[in-house]
A and B are shown apart, each in its own frame.
Chain A
Amino acid sequence: MSEETIVRSAKSEAYWQQLNCRFPAANKIFDACIVEAKSELSEEGVSSYIDNARFLGKMGRGVEPLLVYLEEAPTVATLVGEKVLPDIKDFAYFLSTNTNFKAIVPFLQSLAAVTRRLHSYEQLQQYFELLKKMIADTSGSVHGHHTTFPSPGLPFLLEQAPRLLSQLSLQGLSNWMDYGVRYYHTHPERQKDYFSLQAPDAVAVMQRERHGTLMVDHERQLDLYLRGLWQDGDYLVPYSLIFDELRKPMPYFDDYGIRLPDVYDDYNGVSGINRYRAVLAHIAAHRKWSSKMVVDNWSPFQRIAVEMFEDSRVEYLAMQQFPGLRKLFLALHPVPDEDDLSKTDMSLIRLRLALVSRAILDPEFKLKNDALKTFVDRFFATMGKGESSSPEMADIALSFIAKTRRQTDLSPNIYFDNTEVDYRDDNRHLWIYIEQGDEEEDTFEHLEDQQRDDVDTLPPRHYHEWDYSSQIYRPDWVSVYEAVQAAGNVRIVDGILEKHAALAKRLKAILDALKPQEKVRIRYQEEGSELDLDVAIRSLIDLKSGSQPDMRINMSHKNDGRDIAVMLVVDLSQSLNEKAAGSSQTILELSQEAVTLLAWTIDKLGDKFAIAGFNSDTRHDVRYSHIKGFSEKFDEQVKGRLAGMQAQYSTRMGAAMRHAAHYLEAQKADKKLMLVLTDGEPADIDVDDDQLLIQDTHQAVKELQQKGIYSYCINLDQKADEYVADIFGKQYTVIDHVDKLPEQLPKIFMALTK
């Protein structure tokens, strides 16, 4: 260790002594730090700063915590007050003593950035509390090891904390952390992914907790806006702002749609939704009035000038149609500072353009600079003659660049303040390039085509799942794959129908009573379609005999039809392969018989109906087999699929019901009924908590109800009473003697729909 001799002032030397530190690295930076601290903190503050630093230096966790503290602490203290200095030390010490000492450095490093987002001492305290809670929940011991393991996610969380807080409120951060802790506290690797924002659900939850107006929530309104006011329409595709702090992406449009930021906060009195509308108005105006121009010969400066004049032109035209847009644009357009035109050490091209743009937009904004004013006047003179055109704007822009050119324009130091108009798109649609640049041409394009192999299965549909413990939906949690059920031997089904011929005959009798009577006579109508002679004569007799006659002597007819759509969802989980109690048949065989008979019954009744089976192998693979669609007849093909039903895996009922509901929802019918035939409770191998899927299914039932779908469960589990009421309320039947199922099911159905 080589001791460098560093000469410092007496005061600094006193502080150095107070720090009582032997690390040479600390020695090196100490001077710079103490200068900063002295300029920003009070006398006591500096003293407290040194005391706490001394503690960190002697904590036995190396020099690094001390160094980071020395550098960061003064900033934090100036932001929220000097009383925070001991708190920082205490928290670092807390980390050091509870096995999470590796997190000390990230904690200190991110602290200044975090404080900048939180603004107040109280909020910072809450942040510490959140961290403590998270540490308590995620550090732990593994059975059999006599050590405690540090929290795997903590260092990653600390690294991401500034970014997280830039998007989330403290409450949002707390929710986001809770989610990660809840789902990944048993899984260190996943926990790391989550807290480092690598996991997709980390981003999804963050998105949900964000402040501001989310595009996804307002997509339809924006679509309607575009259609209604602009007679335009396109895909609206959000892009995320989370991962681009430095390089701010801009809205744009191309052949594949209009790209917009995923979220807008309110800004300068303009609500998020109106900011979206401003962007769309600008883009729609371009699409309406702009034309493409060849730009190969234009310099970058010329291009941005053309962009600015063209932007101003389309906005001018848009505001003529919709004068109210001016209010939005004015609020969103920055107000550049004309006085800065005197700066000589920077490229002011952006400033000059922004000034002209503002002056065109805002009649109140008076320019002093004559050169710029000429161009504003020239713009209005051109627009006074009509719509003008993109090339005409380009002419103005090119002469603008030529006339206002300055020596300093080429300076790398570019003036940016208040020159960015964030509701304008990047104008890529304006350009045509004749030369395609220097790259090799499309060498790999053919590969892309090859990789797009023919897919014969449907892409998965994702559904939310309800988590009862935190009362939130887990976003896009379950993937449902739908496929057509492989066909089996049709003769099996015909055999079932033969076997139950006697039952079918009895059912037929009930059916006939249920069958819709097309025309029903309604008597005693004052105004009807026909005279009801019986009543008319009776009334006449009344009249003649002097008593009050009944004037309702007409009758009419009305149609009395059934309008029901039925979706039968059959549980096809492994347990169906077991033999039913007191029967030689498996539950699957009995279910098959029951479903066949029910299908036959509904077919005879003439109601719309569909059949599907489901099972699941974790949330990533819920299989939904299509057996009969609403538009299919109960024919050989459907019978074949019924015969082909097989039982395997588990029962993730909620997802299957949601998927089935999206078909049933689309049906036009007065009554919609979803029958769920199952032999047990909802369960899956990736879920430990018995209640979770039960509650999720209950939630699905509630969702269905909101959509006007009545769900009804037919349960073959003798112990079903324990849970089935929790899911379906009163809408269920438990069948104790499974062998009676084929007989019971059609009867239940008919009783339900009577």
Chain B
Amino acid sequence: MNDHAQYNINEEPFYQAQSDEVELYEAAYAARLPVMVKGPTGCGKSRFIEYMAWKLGKPLITVACNEDMTASDLVGRYLLDANGTRWLDGPLTTAARIGAICYLDEVVEARQDTTVVIHPLTDHRRTLPLDKKGELIEAHADFQLVISYNPGYQSLMKDLKQSTKQRFTGFEFDYPSEATETTIVAKETGVDAELATKLVKIGATARNLKGHGLDEGISTRLLTYAATLIKGGIEPKAACRMALVRPITDDADIRVTLDHAIETIFA
């Protein structure tokens, strides 16, 4: 277990604060309160956590949750070994042992029985029972649990239980304001402000269509993709179609409308 260093974040990730979320997070961490970040996809949730881990100087263990994920995938399981079976810690267990920030990304994707295993870690107990192994882990003093989820899915099946929700402090993220987003796109990719403004405007167009055939608008992440492509020498309209429109929709009407928006914005 000497490879903890791999979880450290050595370089400062670029993060543009939208308001006072950095201070609030620091306060939550000081009290080791579990944190939940909500918001649409690609609005900077993961980047924020990464940045905070860097700022606080703590290792970060990220788990991308999926619907086939079981409790064992978080906690650990027995593997076959020459001497019988060997226990292998899961990422959550590792984080609790070494005092890392454990970030469960898109936690609603995981099955509900899976999310229950984090409960004892999130209240005053701060313990993780490994019932299969018969061990009770006391969480390291630096350990903190962070989960993210995207309320935009609006599926009845994909929601957190109240008992889970009420163990966290929450941050609500949204796409940044136009000005902030322009700065983000420009800084992240190095394109000029004018191009960034245009890209952000296309993003805003798509966000207006949310709920009218689009589940999610164009994310800040996609905008930076488009900017990167344009910076790489791709013709802007083609880059936008490739990075902003084609990924988010298969709906012909929406595609045509967004293509037209690109045409009118990049005249």
Q: Which residues of A contact B (CB under 8 A)?
A: 220-221, 223-225, 227-229, 231, 273-274, 277, 321-327, 527-531, 536, 539-540, 543, 549, 551, 553-554, 556
Q: Which residues of B contact A (CB under 8 A)?
A: 70-73, 77-78, 80, 82, 84-85, 132, 201, 205-206, 208-209, 212-213, 253-254, 256-258, 260-261, 263-267
- Residues of A contacting B265 in the complex (Cβ-Cβ under 8 angstroms): 322-324
- Classify the secondary structure of A's interface with B: helix
- List 14 A–B pairs whose Cβ atoms lie within 8 Å, in order of A's numbering: A221-B253, A221-B257, A224-B257, A227-B212, A228-B257, A229-B205, A273-B256, A274-B260, A323-B266, A529-B71, A531-B78, A553-B78, A553-B80, A556-B70
- Residues of B contacting A228 in the complex (Cβ-Cβ under 8 angstroms): 205-206, 208-209, 257-258, 261
A527 vs B72: C-alpha distance when bound (angstroms): 9
A273 vs B212: C-alpha distance when bound (angstroms): 19
B267 contacts A527, C-beta separation under 8 Å:
no
A224 vs B254: C-alpha distance when bound (angstroms): 7
A323 contacts B267, C-beta separation under 8 Å:
yes
Known: A221-B253, A228-B258. 17 other contacts (CB 8 A): A220-B213, A224-B212, A224-B213, A227-B209, A227-B212, A228-B205, A228-B257, A229-B260, A229-B261, A322-B267, A324-B265, A324-B267, A327-B267, A528-B70, A529-B70, A531-B132, A536-B85
Q: How far is the CB of B91 from chain A (nearest CB, A)?
A: 14
Residue among B73, B77, B257, B264 making CB contact with A322, cutoff 8 Å: B264
Q: Which 8 A-B pairs have the closest CB atoms?
A: A324-B264, A323-B267, A324-B267, A322-B264, A529-B70, A224-B257, A228-B205, A221-B253
Task: Considering the complex, give the chain A residue whose CB is closest to the CB of B212.
Answer: A227
A223 vs B71: C-alpha distance when bound (angstroms): 46
A540 contacts B80, C-beta separation under 8 Å:
yes
Task: Considering the complex, give the chain A residue whose CB is closest to the CB of B70.
Answer: A529
- Residues of B contacting A220 in the complex (Cβ-Cβ under 8 angstroms): 213, 253
A228 vs B267: C-alpha distance when bound (angstroms): 17
Q: Which of A225, A277, A540, A543 has the most CB of B within 10 A?
A: A225
Task: Considering the complex, give the chain B residue whose CB is closest to the CB of A219.
Answer: B253
Q: How far is the CB of B152 from chain A (nearest CB, A)?
A: 17
B260 contacts A225, C-beta separation under 8 Å:
yes
Task: Considering the complex, give the chain B residue whose CB is closest to the CB of A274.
Answer: B260
Beyond A322-B264, A324-B263, A327-B267, is A231–B257 a contact (Cβ under 8 Å)? no
B80 contacts A543, C-beta separation under 8 Å:
yes
Residue among A227, A536, A556 making CB contact with B208, cutoff 8 Å: A227
Q: How far is the CB of A463 from chain B (nearest CB, A)?
A: 23
Q: Which of B73, B78, B256, B257 has the most CB of A within 10 A?
A: B257
Residue among A224, A231, A323, A529 making CB contact with B253, cutoff 8 Å: A224
B209 contacts A530, C-beta separation under 8 Å:
no
Task: Considering the complex, give the chain A residue whose CB is closest to the CB of B198.
Answer: A323
Q: How far is the CB of B82 from chain A (nearest CB, A)?
A: 7
- Residues of B contacting A549 in the complex (Cβ-Cβ under 8 angstroms): 80
A536 vs B77: C-alpha distance when bound (angstroms): 13
Beyond A223-B212, A227-B212, A530-B72, is A326–B256 a contact (Cβ under 8 Å)? no
B209 contacts A539, C-beta separation under 8 Å:
no
A323 contacts B208, C-beta separation under 8 Å:
no
A325 contacts B213, C-beta separation under 8 Å:
no
A323 vs B256: C-alpha distance when bound (angstroms): 18
Residue among A325, A527, A529 making CB contact with B264, cutoff 8 Å: A325
A540 vs B82: C-alpha distance when bound (angstroms): 8
- Residues of B contacting A556 in the complex (Cβ-Cβ under 8 angstroms): 70
A321 vs B209: C-alpha distance when bound (angstroms): 18
B80 contacts A324, C-beta separation under 8 Å:
no
Task: Considering the complex, give the chain A residue whose CB is closest to the CB of B213.
Answer: A224
- Residues of B contacting A553 in the complex (Cβ-Cβ under 8 angstroms): 78, 80, 85
A18 vs B191: C-alpha distance when bound (angstroms): 86
Q: How far is the CB of B126 from chain A (nearest CB, A)?
A: 24
- Residues of B contacting A323 in the complex (Cβ-Cβ under 8 angstroms): 264-267
A554 vs B70: C-alpha distance when bound (angstroms): 12
A229 vs B205: C-alpha distance when bound (angstroms): 5
- Residues of B contacting A528 in the complex (Cβ-Cβ under 8 angstroms): 70, 72
Task: Considering the complex, give the chain A residue whose CB is closest to the CB of B217.
Answer: A228
Q: How far is the CB of A270 from chain B (nearest CB, A)?
A: 12
- Residues of B contacting A539 in the complex (Cβ-Cβ under 8 angstroms): 80
- Residues of A contacting B77 in the complex (Cβ-Cβ under 8 angstroms): 527, 531, 554
Task: Considering the complex, give the chain B residue whose CB is closest to the CB of A319.
Answer: B267
Q: How far is the CB of A523 from chain B (nearest CB, A)?
A: 15
Q: How far is the CB of B134 from chain A (nearest CB, A)?
A: 13
- Residues of B contacting A543 in the complex (Cβ-Cβ under 8 angstroms): 80, 82
- Residues of A contacting B253 in the complex (Cβ-Cβ under 8 angstroms): 220-221, 224
A220 vs B80: C-alpha distance when bound (angstroms): 58
Task: Considering the complex, give the chain A residue whose CB is closest to the CB of B68.
Answer: A556
Task: Considering the complex, give the chain B residue whose CB is closest to the CB of A318.
Answer: B264
A225 contacts B257, C-beta separation under 8 Å:
yes
- Residues of A contacting B212 in the complex (Cβ-Cβ under 8 angstroms): 223-224, 227
- Residues of A contacting B258 in the complex (Cβ-Cβ under 8 angstroms): 228
- Residues of B contacting A529 in the complex (Cβ-Cβ under 8 angstroms): 70-72
Q: Which of B70, B80, B205 has the most CB of A within 10 A?
A: B80
A551 vs B80: C-alpha distance when bound (angstroms): 7
Q: How far is the CB of A538 from chain B (nearest CB, A)?
A: 11
- Residues of B contacting A531 in the complex (Cβ-Cβ under 8 angstroms): 77-78, 85, 132
A225 vs B256: C-alpha distance when bound (angstroms): 9
- Residues of B contacting A327 in the complex (Cβ-Cβ under 8 angstroms): 267
Q: How far is the CB of B145 from chain A (nearest CB, A)?
A: 21
- Residues of A contacting B209 in the complex (Cβ-Cβ under 8 angstroms): 224, 227-228
- Residues of B contacting A324 in the complex (Cβ-Cβ under 8 angstroms): 263-267
Q: How far is the CB of A227 from chain B (nearest CB, A)?
A: 5
Q: How far is the CB of A474 from chain B (nearest CB, A)?
A: 27
Q: How far is the CB of A80 from chain B (nearest CB, A)?
A: 41
A529 vs B261: C-alpha distance when bound (angstroms): 48
- Residues of A contacting B78 in the complex (Cβ-Cβ under 8 angstroms): 531, 536, 553
A277 contacts B260, C-beta separation under 8 Å:
yes
- Residues of B contacting A223 in the complex (Cβ-Cβ under 8 angstroms): 212
A550 vs B84: C-alpha distance when bound (angstroms): 13
- Residues of B contacting A224 in the complex (Cβ-Cβ under 8 angstroms): 209, 212-213, 253-254, 257
A604 vs B84: C-alpha distance when bound (angstroms): 48
A531 vs B84: C-alpha distance when bound (angstroms): 12
A539 vs B78: C-alpha distance when bound (angstroms): 13
Task: Considering the complex, give the chain B residue whose CB is closest to the CB of A540.
Answer: B84
A556 vs B73: C-alpha distance when bound (angstroms): 12
Q: How far is the CB of A282 from chain B (nearest CB, A)?
A: 13
- Residues of A contacting B208 in the complex (Cβ-Cβ under 8 angstroms): 227-229, 231
Q: How far is the CB of A606 from chain B (nearest CB, A)?
A: 18
Task: Considering the complex, give the chain A residue whose CB is closest to the CB of B113.
Answer: A529
Task: Considering the complex, give the chain B residue whose CB is closest to the CB of A220.
Answer: B253
Task: Considering the complex, give the chain B residue whose CB is closest to the CB of A277.
Answer: B260
- Residues of B contacting A322 in the complex (Cβ-Cβ under 8 angstroms): 261, 264-265, 267
- Residues of A contacting B85 in the complex (Cβ-Cβ under 8 angstroms): 531, 536, 540, 553
Q: Which of B82, B201, B208, B212 has the most CB of A within 10 A?
A: B208
Residue among A231, A321, A527 making CB contact with B73, cutoff 8 Å: A527
Q: How far is the CB of B257 from chain A (nearest CB, A)?
A: 4
B261 contacts A221, C-beta separation under 8 Å:
no
- Residues of B contacting A221 in the complex (Cβ-Cβ under 8 angstroms): 253, 256-257
A322 vs B260: C-alpha distance when bound (angstroms): 10
- Residues of B contacting A326 in the complex (Cβ-Cβ under 8 angstroms): 267
A105 vs B257: C-alpha distance when bound (angstroms): 51
